[in-house]
Amino acid sequence: MTSFEQWDVVVVPFPFVDLPVQKTRPALVLSTKVANHENGQTLLSMITTATRSHWPSDCDIEGLREAGLRTPSLVRFKLFTLPNTLIVRKIGHLVSADQTQSAQALKTLLNFD
C-alpha cells in the first residue's frame, strides 16, 4: 500500500461513493506519510479551479507545473479523509512557498498558534 507525503498533489475519485459515473479530481495531502500509513486514511483538501466563488482561506497555487496542474488552481480548505486505497495516483508536490501559504491559512482557519 502506498502512503503519500504531506503536500503531495494526488488524484482522487469524485464522488467518493460507488456511483456508476465518477470523475477524478486533484486534492492536496495534508496529513503526514506516517499518519497516512498508520491510519490507512489520508487527510486531504480540495483543489479547485473555481474562480467565481471565493473562500477567505483559499490559497492560489503558484507552482502549477511542480504541482502537476495545467490550469490556474487553488487550495480550498474543504477537508475530507479518504482510504489510502482510493487515491488514484500522485501528480505533483506543492513548492515550498505554496506549502508555507497553505499551512498558514490552515493554522488561521483552525485558530492554531
Q: Which domains does the chain have, with CATH numbers?
A: 8-110 (2.30.30.110)
Nearest-angstrom CA–CA distance, 68 and 100: 18
Nearest-angstrom CA–CA distance, 5 and 28: 10
Q: What is the pLDDT of residues 9-58, one digit of tens each?
A: 999 997 656 667 678 999 999 999 999 999 999 999 999 998 788 999 99
53 by Cβ neighbours in 10 Å (0-12 / 13-18 / 19+) ranks as exposed
pTM: 0.92
